[in-house]
Structure 1
Amino acid sequence: MTKLFKGRFAILFAFLTYFLSFSFLIRTILLIESLSKHIDFKVLEIVRIYITGLFFDIGSGLLITIFYALYLLIIPNKFYTKKWNIIFNWVTLFLFVLITLFSFFAELTFWQEFESRFNFIAVDYLIYTYEVVQNINESYPLPLLITGMLLLAVVIMYLFYKLNIFKNSLNANTPFNKRIIISSTLIISTIIFSLFVKNSWAENGNNRYANELSKAGTYSFFAAFKNNELNYTDFYKLISSKEAFTLVRNELKETGVAFSKDELSIKREITNDSSQAYKPNLIMITVESLSADFMQKYGNKEHITPELDSLANHSVFFSDMYATGTRTVRGMEALTLCIPPTPGSSIVRRMDNEHLFTVGHVFKEKGYTNTFFYGGDGYFDNMNHFFGNNGYNIVDRGRKLLDETYDGSRTIIKDNEVTFENAWGICDEDIFNVVLKDADEKFKANKLFNNFIMTTSNHRPYTFPDHKINLPSGTRAAAVRYTDYAIGNFIKKIKAKPWFKNTVIIIVADHCASSAGKNEIDVSKYQIPCMILNLKNTVDMNIDKMTSQIDLYPTLWSLLGWKYTSSFYGKNVLDKDYKPRVVLGTYQKLVYMSGDSLVILSPHRKVDTYIYNKAKNEQTKASFPKALTDQAIANYQTAFDIFKDGKLRY
């Protein structure tokens, strides 16, 4: 064993020893804190905590040092004793120690607040860095904390020095064959651990505290980042599963609906008035960051959406629709799965999100070809994986990866199809031209098509082709105006196509341009425009009822007179029994609004209730009947359950 601390790898193994020792100490402190709160642990649970915990700690330590292990392998002996390498090793170890000390401190403070190892809330904190740093500064004497951590790191480094760790490592003449054995063992073990070991392996008991203590904070953070979710059951207010599903099923009742016999399911058969049913092609333009208040119809005075304002007057217009979230992938989730936003990131970015019951599945059952069009690289945000494994073909401007496999096909947009491109992708006119070409081909082949288009021009850096509009590129207002121009130009072109008379066009935003406001959840920052164009047998109308993104397709299908199987939370807002409600949220906050009654669910099983004054955009604290808060809980609890239990699969 002592030989490990006398060769080139002495610094690495010394760090692992320090890391495992401090991890043991942190785990013990958290266990004692749990015991002080009268949490009962059986002897075998405590044994499991330390054995399982050691396993995860070793894996975490290996993950931290994997690149250092590679460095120790490849650097030749003749360079290893150079001054620059000596400095590099000292600095590397110091940074390893300092960063992990801050991580250990963060674990203690995180446990005090959430009684949990790192989860998606910790990942979420990275997104709101300014707020978190301010909170730490207000909660702790930050200068003293940083000074203390630096001093402790120096003490540990001095201890390594006194134990001759640096001398043993930097003076070693370790042959390459020995280095490759050690480095390969460490690197291969790390890869196996990261690919095959799941954080859920620690959750094999009924004692939640024992499960959490069995984990390692560092690996839990990586796992949360990878899985992009937060366990609703552990952190949010709950009611019984049977009661939750009963409440949701009652809310989803409408004319011509028959639910399945499984009481813990929302699966049902929808029977609309099919006397004038028909199957048109569908093109949905999902516009990047199109807030409602960009349009003149909502009071904007800049006149940057003349095309959209004109189109809205000749459509089925949803004038009071709300996005479910603040990111593109959350909008995609709402528009494909028609589901409330569960805590963490969108299902689009999560693991095990293949073969789900999507909007595309309904279209496929009707004989349609589904295609996802994106002017950027669909590898970003896991979009290609989600759409490609949920019944859609893909057309994007990405790169071909060898390990990409999809149930659908993938076509990469060629250079000769691009006139303008920035960091986010090709301009909106170019992606619309690609769609036109594809639609022409499908029409010639006598194929019905359902197209999901995601635009990119209304995204920073807000650049677009010159000489298209009377505003220079580089600002949000100009980007909105250009996107509006591109959509208007696209509509003019398709009106001349032979397939236009049997094609419905949807224009909807993915989310608003900004979600920050004077309230923690600013409802006004979720309001988006949505319109359906070119519907047969339907007069133009303004639907001024409060609606959600998840209601769009159920409403469309009712207008088309379709019969279909549904596992969606969306409703036909034209049904006589429809009661306005919306679901929206952030990574942590989950919001349910019925009428002007606002319920916000948060970690710590916290429930806040407000009256929302839309005219003043104000929220006033209020008390609501338990029935309303239970309805809010039921929507999110069941949505989380059906995804985790695989009931979203078809």
Structure 2
Amino acid sequence: MFATMACFPNLPGFEYLMQTPEGGHKLSGLPALLSARDYDDVYVYNGDFAWDNQSGFFGNQGMTTFIGRNDFVNPVFSDPTWGVSDQDMFDRGAEELAKNYGKKPFYALLQTLSNHTPYALPKDLPVEPVTGQGRLDEHLTAMRYSDWALGQFFEKARKEPYFKETLFVIVGDHGFGNHQQVTELDLGRFNVPLLLIGPGIQEKFGAVDHTVGTQVDIVPTIMGRLGGQTRHQCWGRDLLNLPEGDQGVGMIKPSGSEQIVGLVKGDRILIESKDMTPRMYRYQLGSEFKAELIESPDQPELLKNLEAYIQTATKSLLDNTAGVVHGTPK
């Protein structure tokens, strides 16, 4: 969440940044950048904002309007652990967008939760449950339900006047690992598609782009589409405005205490861990999912880049220099 909205990377030792004192620092993310442009905001969520200090963190970053589990009246479904269902969340999200249109410019964060273990879904599902996949049935059914709820949201959004003036950004916090773990980092789990839906996006940039990026690239990519001058200290880049031939780059640090990091560049990944010497693979995603161990002359340079990225970002966080104050770097 903090990488996507505050464009600061997940770092070793700070995987739970939103709960730490350092998480109270101002970061150069979407709330800060759009608050400076006088945007209104709304954050709609199935669950409780106290979890992971979401309201505290995002409130400190500049968000003002939070709609959580206790703000839903007569939801279709509510679970004591997770809160209301995705269809409830998206229905309320659609209401908020329609209600806010025509006033000031605004941005909305809609966070889903139904597709998360332990899965809590309505008894009368609007989709056919997935069967025949063994222990994956429950997970795949939750995915199908969440996808249906997202589809229902877009059916409503398309009929609203704001639709043709809105950039929709759809991304997961992580992917879904498969049974093939072809490198020490589970590439299937970290293969996350980013969908951008908005006026002229496909016409200008094409339907599919295989550039490598991570969640920290999302805010710069959004700001690039909004136009106007932007000064930020994001730890990512505008994925739709990279130099010619740049295949993209991304640093991966799994959540939790697992001390392993990876640097993805194009179709290669460099993996570093305390338990092994650094290794580089050439990988391929999709139906031909595979990875092969390779040796590359630029491996030492990439390893230096990976360590420099982590060390510089960590120092910036500790020194509280990762945010922009009044349009100028702090």
Specify the TM-score bucket, using the shorter chain as the normaliser. 0.7 to 0.9
Match of 1:363 in 2: 34
CA contact (8 A) 1:336 1:358 kept: yes
* Cα gap change, 1:575 to 1:358, in 2 (>3 Å): closer
From 562, 583, 607, the counterpart of 2:251: 583
* Offset from partner CA, 1:35-63 (integer Å, 9 cap, x none): xxxxxxxxxxxxxxxxxxxxxxxxxxxxx
CA distance in 1: counterparts of 2:262 and 2:62, whole angstroms: 30
CA distance in 2: counterparts of 1:547 and 1:426, whole angstroms: 31
* Secondary structure class of the residue paired with 2:236: coil
- For structure 1, the 5+ residue unaligned runs are 1-331, 399-411
* Cα gap change, 1:341 to 1:467, in 2 (>3 Å): closer
Match of 1:464 in 2: 121
CA distance in 2: counterparts of 1:535 and 1:472, whole angstroms: 35
Identity %: 24
Residue type of the partner of 1:584?
Answer: I
CA contact (8 A) 2:22 2:318 kept: no
Match of 1:431 in 2: 89
RMSD: 2.5
CA distance in 1: counterparts of 2:192 and 2:158, whole angstroms: 26
Match of 1:519 in 2: 183
From 206, 210, 213, the counterpart of 1:547: 213
In the TM superposition, residue 544 of structure 1 has moved relative to its aligned partner by 1.8
CA distance in 2: counterparts of 1:333 and 1:506, whole angstroms: 16
Residue type of the partner of 1:377?
Answer: D
CA distance in 2: counterparts of 1:547 and 1:358, whole angstroms: 16
Q: TM-score, normalised by structure 2?
A: 0.83
The answer to whether residue 222 in structure 2 is matched with residue 556 in structure 1 is: yes
From 54, 61, 64, the counterpart of 1:393: 64
* Cα gap change, 1:350 to 1:535, in 2 (>3 Å): farther
Residue type of the partner of 1:499?
Answer: Y
The answer to whether residue 1 in structure 2 is matched with residue 343 in structure 1 is: no
* Offset from partner CA, 1:495-548 (integer Å, 9 cap, x none): 122222212211111112338835321223210121111224751521122222
CA contact (8 A) 2:177 2:186 kept: no
Deviating more after overlay: 576-585 vs 510-519: 510-519
* Cα gap change, 1:543 to 1:537, in 2 (>3 Å): closer
CA contact (8 A) 1:359 1:553 kept: yes
Residue type of the partner of 2:155?
Answer: K
In the TM superposition, residue 438 of structure 1 has moved relative to its aligned partner by 1.9
* Offset from partner CA, 1:117-170 (integer Å, 9 cap, x none): xxxxxxxxxxxxxxxxxxxxxxxxxxxxxxxxxxxxxxxxxxxxxxxxxxxxxx
In the TM superposition, residue 379 of structure 1 has moved relative to its aligned partner by 0.8
CA distance in 2: counterparts of 1:523 and 1:537, whole angstroms: 28
* Cα gap change, 1:596 to 1:472, in 2 (>3 Å): closer
Match of 1:24 in 2: none
From 478, 488, 503, the counterpart of 2:151: 488
* Cα gap change, 1:597 to 1:497, in 2 (>3 Å): closer
**Correspondence 1:500-519 to 2 at 5 A:** 500-514=163-177, 517-519=181-183
* Cα gap change, 1:570 to 1:515, in 2 (>3 Å): farther
From 442, 449, 455, the counterpart of 2:112: 455
* Larger of the two Rg values belongs to structure: 1
The answer to whether residue 2 in structure 2 is matched with residue 352 in structure 1 is: no
**Correspondence 1:572-611 to 2 at 5 A:** 572-577=238-243, 578-586=246-254, 587=257, 588-603=259-274, 608-611=278-281
Residue type of the partner of 1:481?
Answer: R
- For structure 2, the 5+ residue unaligned runs are 132-136, 325-330
Residue type of the partner of 1:629?
Answer: L
* Secondary structure class of the residue paired with 1:598: strand
* Cα gap change, 1:496 to 1:598, in 2 (>3 Å): closer
CA distance in 2: counterparts of 1:338 and 1:510, whole angstroms: 13
From 291, 296, 308, the counterpart of 1:618: 291
* Offset from partner CA, 1:410-452 (integer Å, 9 cap, x none): xx41333x120122121111111221222233225x1221111
Residue type of the partner of 2:293?
Answer: T
CA contact (8 A) 1:348 1:383 kept: yes
* Offset from partner CA, 1:9-30 (integer Å, 9 cap, x none): xxxxxxxxxxxxxxxxxxxxxx
CA contact (8 A) 1:374 1:455 kept: yes
CA distance in 1: counterparts of 2:147 and 2:18, whole angstroms: 27
In the TM superposition, residue 616 of structure 1 has moved relative to its aligned partner by 4.7
CA contact (8 A) 1:371 1:392 kept: yes
CA contact (8 A) 1:599 1:608 kept: yes
CA distance in 1: counterparts of 2:52 and 2:221, whole angstroms: 28
CA distance in 2: counterparts of 1:515 and 1:631, whole angstroms: 29
* Cα gap change, 1:471 to 1:598, in 2 (>3 Å): closer
The answer to whether residue 327 in structure 2 is matched with residue 648 in structure 1 is: no
Residue type of the partner of 1:581?
Answer: V
Residue type of the partner of 1:415?
Answer: V
* Cα gap change, 1:618 to 1:373, in 2 (>3 Å): same
CA contact (8 A) 1:547 1:581 kept: yes
Deviating more after overlay: 509-518 vs 356-365: 509-518
* Secondary structure class of the residue paired with 1:527: coil
CA contact (8 A) 1:599 1:609 kept: yes
From 521, 525, 529, the counterpart of 2:193: 529
Residue type of the partner of 2:84?
Answer: I
Structure in which a larger fraction of residues adopt helix: 1
Match of 1:290 in 2: none
Match of 2:301 in 1: 627
* Offset from partner CA, 1:454-509 (integer Å, 9 cap, x none): 10111123332314112279711111111111111110111122222212211111
